[in-house]
C-alpha cells in the first residue's frame, strides 16, 4: 500500500486521478454516499431528534459495508489520507461522513478540491490542501433533514387523505404545482383566430416573400382585401438597411446545459447529467454542477489560442462573464472542456454529442459577435392603404456563429431593388391563424423556470424532474396532436389554377370569386410529445397541498429556504435556528391534518343512470387515479362495478355515453389458435389484451374496435419476446433473463448481475444461486398506514 491514500466518490474518477498521482498514491472510491439517516433507531429515540437540536442518527448503507471495510483497511496502512470528494455541498458532506466512519479527524484530515480532473489541477490541489468545511456540511445537513422531515411527516398524511396519493416532497411539490397551473391555463385558454396575409412577388426574375403587418379578424375582410389586389400595381416605396450584431451566450451552467441539451439534442435532464458526470470523471470537462459562468484565466487564454490558430485573429475576443446569482458558490467555473483543442471527449456517441455541445458553447463565448445586415423593403398597393413588408437578413461576418448557434435555415435573400421599382405579384395568400395557448413545459424549460424562481440548485434539478415522473404525478406526453381545419384564401393573378403550394394539401378547394380560391387544409394542434404533462394524481396532490399545506408548494417560501441554505454555508445563519423556523409552523399543520375529511379530497361527480340496471354512474378518484363506478358502495347485496376513465376524459368532462361504453369492457375479441379467449380492456397503463395470465399492451389500438387479426399479431409478438427474454428457467423460481440493461438472474425477490466474463447461457443452477446469495436484498418498501 502506498504512503498516501486518496478517497474519491466514483471508481471512474479514481482511475483517472491515479494516472496523474504516481506510485506514492493509492486512489480508492466510496462509490457515492456511504451513510443515510436511519429509519428507526435502536434505543427508540427519533432518527431526527427535533427536541435535541435536530440531532440526527446515521447508519452505513447496507450495500456500502464491504466498501467501508476495504477503506478502513487502507486507512490503517496509509500515512496520509486525502479526501477528494466533489467540491459541492454533497461532496463536502461525503467527506465528513468518511471522517466519521473511518475515525478521521475532520479538523486535521487533508481535504482537496478541483473542478477538473487534469494533471495540473490535481497537482495544484495536492499542494494546497484544506480541511473539511463544516459550514458546507451543515448546509447539506439542513437540506437533508428538512427533506426527510417533510417526507416522513407529510407523506403519511397524503397516504391517508389523498386517494391514490403516493408521497410529497419539499422541492418536488412546487414543481408539480407549476405544471398543474400551466395545464389549467391551457384548458382555460379561449381560442381566437385572425387571417394573416402573405404574398410572393418577383423582380427581375427573382422571387421573394412579403407579409402584410395588419391582421384581419374575419374571413370576409381577408377575402375583400384579396379581391382589391385584382388589377392593383405594386411599388417599392422604401428600402432600409441597418447593421446589427449578435453576441454569444455565456458558457454553460448546470441549468443552461440541461436546457440546451434538451432543446438541441433532445436529452432529458437525468440523461444529460449522467452523460456530463462521465465526461467529468474521464477528465474531459470541468465539474458539471455549477451556478457559475466564470472561466479561469488559463481557460480563456487556451480558448483564445485555439480560436486564433483555427479560425484567425479576427474571430477571437476575450470575454469575462459575471454570474447573476450571488449564491453561485457550488463551483468556481462554468462547465467547459479541460482541453479546448480536443474535439473528441468520449468514444461513446451519446456522451460525445454532449461534449461537442459544451465545447462549441465555450469557444463561442470567447469569439467575436456576428455582424448582420438587416434589410426591409416596403411595398405599397395602389388599391389599398396597407403596405407589405419584406424582411431579409444577411450575415456579413459569422463570428461566433461559425461554431455555435448558426441557423440551419438560411434567411431569405432579397433582390436588389430601389424606391419606385415596380413589382409583379405572383400570388397572395390569406391563412387562418389561431392564437396559441401557453406552451407546456419541456424538461429544459421547467429547469429554467425553477431557476428563475430560485427553487432547487444545480445538484437537484435533474432529481426533481425524475422524481415527479417516478411518483406518477407527471408524465412525458406522446400525443402528436389533433387535426383541425384551416381556411386558406388564395389570389393568383391571371391564373385559373389552384395555388401550387396548396394543390396537393387541400381537403377541398372552391373558387369563391373570380381568381380567388377557398381551400380547407388540415393542421395538427395540441401536440404534447416530449412535454411534461401533470397526471390527474398530480393535479389532486397539488390541490391538496395548496389547500392544506400552502407552505410546501409556495414558490417564494421554497426559494427563501434555498437562500437560507446558502446563508448557512456562508456562516450567516445558524443551522438549528433555520430548521426550527421551518419545522414549528409545518408541524402545526401536520397536527391539524387529522381533521381533513378524506371524502372531500378529490372530485366525485354523478354522471347519470345506467339505462339497463337503473343504477347510478359516478366518476371519482380511486387508488390509481380517475375511474368510473356503476352502483353504490352502500348496496350490501350488489357490489359496484368499476371501469377506467376513457382516454382524454376527466372527471369533470366525461359524459354518460362515454361511461356506458367503458362498462362494455372487457370485450371478448376472439380466440387464439389453441382455443384460449382473448379479452380487450383498459388498465392503469393503457389498453391491453389478456390471454390467460399474459397481458399485452395494444397502444395505440382501441379495445372497443381492435380486430382479432391485430390482436393475434400482437399476441404472437409478445410470445416471441417472452421466449427471447427467458434464457434459462431452473424450475424453482430461479431464472436467467434478458432484461432492458442486459442478462441477469432473479428469484423473484432480488436480481443479480452476471459478470461480464461469464456467458449467460452457460450459467448453471448452482452458479445462479451463488450470484444471488452474493447480492444484497432489496430495501423493503415503507408500509402505508391505512386510512380509517
> 242 is written with which cell numbers?
441597418
Largest CA distance in the chain: 97
Residues 6 or more apart from 128 whose CB is under 8 A from it?
A: 112
Angle CA 272–274–276, to nearest 5: 65
Residue 188, Cβ density class (10 Å: 0-12 exposed, 13-18 middle, ≥19 buried): exposed
Residues 6 or more apart from 327 whose CB is under 8 A from it?
A: 291, 562, 563, 566
Q: What is the pLDDT of residue 755?
A: 87
DSSP letter (8 states) at residue 339: S
Nearest partner of 621 among 706, 721, 540, judged by Cα: 540
How many other β-carbons are positioned within 10 Å of the β-carbon of residue 78?
A: 19
Beta pairing partners, 705: none
Angle CA 436–186–534, to nearest 5: 135
Burial string for 224-236 (b: 16+ CB within 10 Å, else e) reads: ebbbebbeeebbb
Tell me how far apart the alpha carbons of residues 506 and 521 are, in angstroms, rounded to a whole number: 5
Q: How far apart are the first and last CA of the chain?
A: 61
How many other β-carbons are positioned within 10 Å of the β-carbon of residue 467?
A: 18
Coil, helix or strand for 287? coil
Q: What is the pLDDT of residue 579?
A: 96
Handedness of CA 15, 10, 12, 86 (dihedral sign): negative
Q: What is the pLDDT of residue 27?
A: 95
Q: What is the pLDDT of residue 598?
A: 85
Residue 746, phi then psi, degrees to nearest 5: -140, 150
Q: What is the pLDDT of residue 182?
A: 97
Is 133 within 8 Å of 107 (Cβ atoms)?
A: no
Q: What is the pLDDT of residue 788?
A: 35
Beta pairing partners, 5: 26, 81
Residue carrying the nine cell digits 454529442: 353
Coil, helix or strand for 387? coil
Beta pairing partners, 194: 433
Tell me how far apart the alpha carbons of residues 103 and 92 are, in angstroms, rounded to a whole number: 16
CA distances for 271 relative to 179, 260, 644, angstroms: 21, 13, 33
Q: What is the pLDDT of residue 504?
A: 64
Active site residue 555: no
* H helix runs in 535-636, sequence order: 536-548, 550-553, 555-569, 575-592
Q: What is the pLDDT of residue 775?
A: 82
Residue stretches of the chain with pLDDT short of 70: 1, 325-331, 406-411, 494-504, 777-788
Tell me how far apart the alpha carbons of residues 185 and 183 are, in angstroms, rounded to a whole number: 5
Q: What is the pLDDT of residue 781?
A: 46
CA distances for 148 relative to 56, 144, 464, 582, 781, angstroms: 11, 6, 15, 13, 16
| Catalytic residue chosen out of the listed positions 287, 315, 583, 688 | 287
CA distances for 635 relative to 160, 613, 627, 641, 788, angstroms: 24, 13, 19, 12, 20
Q: What is the pLDDT of residue 457?
A: 85
Tell me how far apart the alpha carbons of residues 637 and 205 are, in angstroms, rounded to a whole number: 85
Q: What is the pLDDT of residue 501?
A: 59
Angle CA 431–436–442, to nearest 5: 130
Amino acid at each position: 500500500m502506498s504512503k498516501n491514500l486518496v478517497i474519491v466518490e466514483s471508481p471512474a474518477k479514481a482511475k483517472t486521478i491515479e494516472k496523474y498521482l504516481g506510485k506514492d498514491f493509492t486512489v480508492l472510491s466510496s462509490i457515492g454516499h456511504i451513510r443515510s439517516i436511519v429509519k428507526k433507531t435502536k434505543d427508540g429515540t427519533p432518527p431526527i431528534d427535533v427536541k435535541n437540536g435536530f440531532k440526527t442518527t446515521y447508519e452505513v448503507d447496507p450495500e456500502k459495508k464491504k466498501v467501508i471495510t476495504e477503506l478502513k483497511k487502507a486507512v490503517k496502512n496509509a500515512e496520509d489520507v486525502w479526501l477528494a470528494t466533489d467540491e459541492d455541498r454533497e461532496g463536502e458532506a461525503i467527506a465528513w461522513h468518511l471522517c466519521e466512519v473511518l475515525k478521521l479527524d475532520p479538523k486535521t484530515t487533508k481535504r482537496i478540491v478541483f473542478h477538473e480532473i487534469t494533471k495540473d489541477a490535481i497537482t495544484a490541489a495536492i499542494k494546497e490542501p484544506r480541511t473539511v468545511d463544516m459550514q458546507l456540511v451543515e448546509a447539506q445537513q439542513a437540506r437533508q433533514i428538512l427533506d426527510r422531515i417533510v417526507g416522513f411527516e407529510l407523506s403519511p398524511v397524503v397516504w391517508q387523505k389523498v386517494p391514490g396519493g403516493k408521497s410529497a416532497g419539499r422541492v418536488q411539490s412546487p414543481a408539480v404545482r407549476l405544471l398543474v397551473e400551466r395545464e389549467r391555463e391551457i384548458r382555460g385558454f379561449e381560442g381566437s383566430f385572425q387571417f394573416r396575409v402573405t404574398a410572393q412577388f418577383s423582380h427581375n426574375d427573382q422571387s421573394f416573400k412579403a407579409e402584410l403587418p395588419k391582421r384581419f379578424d374575419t374571413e370576409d375582410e381577408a377575402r375583400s382585401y384579396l379581391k382589391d389586389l385584382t388589377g392593383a400595381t405594386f411599388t417599392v416605396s422604401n428600402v432600409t438597411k441597418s447593421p446589427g450584431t449578435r453576441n454569444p451566450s455565456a458558457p454553460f451552467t448546470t441549468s443552461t446545459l440541461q436546457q440546451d441539451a434538451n432543446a438541441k439534442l433532445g436529452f432529458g435532464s437525468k440523461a444529460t447529467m449522467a452523460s456530463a458526470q462521465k465526461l467529468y470523471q474521464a477528465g474531459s470537462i470541468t465539474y458539471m454542477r455549477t451556478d457559475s459562468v466564470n472561466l479561469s484565466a488559463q481557460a480563456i487564454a487556451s480558448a483564445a489560442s485555439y480560436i486564433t490558430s483555427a479560425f484567425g485573429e479576427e474571430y477571437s475576443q476575450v470575454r469575462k462573464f459575471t454570474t447573476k446569482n450571488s449564491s453561485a458558490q457550488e463551483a468556481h467555473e462554468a462547465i467547459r472542456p479541460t482541453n479546448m483543442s480536443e474535439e473528441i471527449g468520449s468514444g461513446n456517441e451519446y456522451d460525445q454529442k454532449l461534449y461537442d455541445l459544451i465545447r462549441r458553447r465555450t469557444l463561442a463565448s470567447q469569439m467575436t459577435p456576428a455582424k448582420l445586415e438587416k434589410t426591409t423593403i416596403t411595398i405599397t398597393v395602389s388599391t389599398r392603404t396597407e403596405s407589405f413588408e419584406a424582411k431579409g437578413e444577411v450575415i456579413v461576418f459569422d463570428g461566433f456563429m461559425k461554431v455555435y448557434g448558426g441557423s440551419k435555415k438560411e434567411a431569405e435573400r432579397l433582390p436588389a431593388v430601389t424606391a419606385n421599382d415596380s413589382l409583379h405579384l405572383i400570388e397572395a395568400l390569406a391563412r387562418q391563424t389561431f392564437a396559441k395557448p401557453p406552451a407546456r413545459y419541456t424538461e429544459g424549460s421547467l429547469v429554467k423556470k425553477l431557476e428563475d424562481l430560485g427553487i432547487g440548485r444545480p445538484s437537484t434539478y435533474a432529481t426533481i424532474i425524475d422524481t415527479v415522473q417516478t411518483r406518477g404525478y407527471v408524465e412525458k406526453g406522446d400525443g402528436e396532436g389533433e387535426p383541425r381545419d384551416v381556411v386558406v384564401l388564395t389570389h393568383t393573378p391571371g391564373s385559373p389554377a389552384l395555388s401550387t403550394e396548396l394543390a396537393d394539401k387541400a381537403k377541398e378547394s372552391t373558387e369563391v370569386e373570380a381568381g380567388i380560391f377557398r381551400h380547407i387544409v388540415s393542421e395538427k394542434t395540441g401536440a404534447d410529445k416530449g412535454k411534461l404533462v401533470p397526471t390527474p394524481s398530480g393535479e389532486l396532490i397539488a390541490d391538496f397541498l395548496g389547500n392544506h399545506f400552502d407552505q410546501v408548494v409556495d414558490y417564494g417560501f421554497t426559494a427563501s429556504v434555498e437562500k437560507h441554505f446558502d446563508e448557512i454555508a456562508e456562516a450567516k445563519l445558524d443551522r438549528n435556528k433555520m430548521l426550527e423556523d421551518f419545522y414549528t409552523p409545518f408541524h402545526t399543520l401536520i397536527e391539524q391534518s387529522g381533521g381533513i375529511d378524506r371524502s372531500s379530497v378529490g372530485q366525485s361527480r354523478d354522471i347519470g343512470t345506467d339505462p339497463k340496471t337503473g343504477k347510478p354512474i359516478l366518476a371519482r378518484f380511486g387508488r390509481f387515479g380517475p375511474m368510473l363506478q356503476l352502483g353504490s358502495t352502500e348496496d350490501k347485496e350488489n357490489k359496484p362495478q368499476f371501469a377506467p376513465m376513457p382516454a382524454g376524459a376527466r372527471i369533470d368532462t366525461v359524459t354518460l355515453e362515454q361511461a356506458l361504453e367503458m362498462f362494455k369492457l372487457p370485450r371478448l375479441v376472439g380466440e387464439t389458435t389453441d382455443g384460449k379467449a382473448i379479452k380487450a380492456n383498459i388498465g392503469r397503463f393503457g389498453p391491453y389484451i389478456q390471454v390467460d395470465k399474459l397481458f399485452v399492451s395494444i397502444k395505440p389500438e382501441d379495445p372497443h374496435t381492435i380486430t382479432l387479426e391485430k390482436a393475434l399479431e400482437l399476441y404472437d409478438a409478445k410470445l416471441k419476446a417472452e421466449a427471447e427474454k427467458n434464457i434459462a428457467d431452473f424450475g424453482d423460481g430461479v431464472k436467467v433473463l434478458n432484461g432492458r440493461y442486459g442478462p441477469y438472474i432473479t428469484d423473484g425477490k432480488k436480481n443479480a448481475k452476471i459478470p461480464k466474463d461469464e456467458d449467460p447461457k452457460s450459467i448453471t443452477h448452482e452458479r445462479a444461486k451463488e450470484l444471488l446469495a452474493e447480492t444484497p436484498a432489496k430495501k423493503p418498501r415503507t408500509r402505508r398506514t391505512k386510512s380509517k
